[in-house]
């Protein structure tokens, strides 16, 4: 195979691997382009473990302002939708939540078995770099994230039920999750590789089920 053919083959492989990421980039651009300037952005994250939807394909759904936010099971996120800024008083999965959404801000609605919590989320504002956002929904009190190949620190001491974020250059990388209390830095689990795109936030959920720790990527414009 000559050099030109090798380059073409390599480009085809990259495009194939990154198809979902390019789709995510287009979806995100459309989301913000279509939104009016006074809109807020909202998604639902399903953290229910002791309900029929936990660990199954049953959906957790919130219908609000004529739009559906739906997730396909535990540790999954709905798509983001844009909504008018203002006060909301709604029910999801039999639980009531009441909050104010501010224009231009993104929010995640965390729904567990007993409560609903609204948290302000992250938006990638640098058109040249992506954003990595990591959520510790696991049973570990604090977690670190490092690159899978070189064990370089990426984010440290992400407390349970909180998140951490940082800007990241466009690249493809997998990551190792490490218990912050482990001085040896033993990897608990390795994520799937993510291709980061400029101007797009990529959300990594770290969760626990009966089999142990696991991770799930959700792109900025919707869950997958």
- Give residue 218's pLDDT: 87
The strand pairing partners of 108, in sequence order, are 43, 119
The dihedral through the CA atoms of 153, 154, 157, 161 has a sign that is negative
- Give residue 72's pLDDT: 82
Q: Average pLDDT, whole number, for the chain?
A: 83
- Give residue 32's pLDDT: 54
Angle at CA of residue 101, ends 166 and 143, nearest 5°: 30
pLDDT of residue 18 exceeding 60: no
Phi, psi of 8 (to 5 degrees): -60, -45
Paired sense of beta strands 201-209 and 130-137, if any: parallel
Cα gap 172→110, rounded to integer Å: 28
pLDDT of residue 23 exceeding 90: no
Cα–Cα nearest to 29, from 172, 223, 219 = 219
Percent pLDDT > 90 in the chain is: 63
- Please report where in the chains the tokens 């999750």 appear, as a residue: 177
Question: Is 219 exposed, middle or buried (CB count within 10 Å of its CB: 0-12, 13-18, 19+)?
Answer: buried
- Please report where in the chains the tokens 């099971």 appear, as a residue: 73
pLDDT of residue 7 exceeding 60: no
Please tell me the pTM assigned to this model.
0.81
CB 191 within 8 A of CB 45: no
Cα gap 96→196, rounded to integer Å: 35
The dihedral through the CA atoms of 28, 31, 34, 37 has a sign that is negative
Cα–Cα nearest to 218, from 135, 162, 148, 147 = 135
pLDDT in tens, 103-136: 999 999 999 999 999 999 998 888 899 999 999 9
- Give residue 14's pLDDT: 39
Q: What would the two tokens of residue 1 be?
A: 């195979």
CB 207 within 8 A of CB 128: no
Q: Which residue has the higher pLDDT, 141 or 29?
A: 141
Domains within the chain, CATH numbers bracketed: 1-34+124-224 (2.60.40.1120), 35-121 (2.60.40)
DSSP H helices in the chain: 3-17, 19-34
């Amino acid at each position: 195979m000559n050099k030109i053919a090798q380059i073409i083959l390599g480009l085809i492989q990259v495009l194939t691997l990154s198809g979902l990421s390019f789709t995510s980039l287009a979806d995100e651009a459309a989301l913000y382009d279509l939104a009016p300037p006074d809109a807020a952005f909202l998604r639902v994250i399903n953290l229910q473990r002791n309900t029929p939807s936990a660990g199954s394909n049953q959906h957790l759904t919130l219908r609000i302002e004529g739009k559906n936010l739906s997730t396909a099971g535990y540790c999954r996120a709905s798509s983001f939708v844009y909504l008018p800024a203002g006060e909301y008083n709604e029910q999801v999965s039999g639980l009531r939540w009441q909050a104010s959404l501010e224009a231009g801000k993104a929010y995640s609605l965390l729904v567990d078995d007993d409560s609903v919590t609204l948290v302000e989320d992250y938006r990638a504002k640098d058109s040249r770099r992506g954003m990595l956002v990591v959520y510790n929904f696991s049973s570990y009190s604090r977690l670190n994230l490092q690159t899978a190949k070189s064990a370089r620190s990426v984010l440290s001491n992400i407390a349970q039920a909180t998140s951490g974020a940082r800007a990241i250059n466009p690249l493809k990388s997998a990551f190792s999750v490490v218990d912050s209390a482990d001085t040896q830095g033993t990897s608990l689990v390795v994520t799937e590789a993510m291709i980061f795109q400029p101007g797009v936030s990529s959300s990594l959920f770290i969760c626990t089920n009966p089999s142990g720790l696991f991770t799930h990527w959700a792109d900025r414009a919707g869950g997958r």
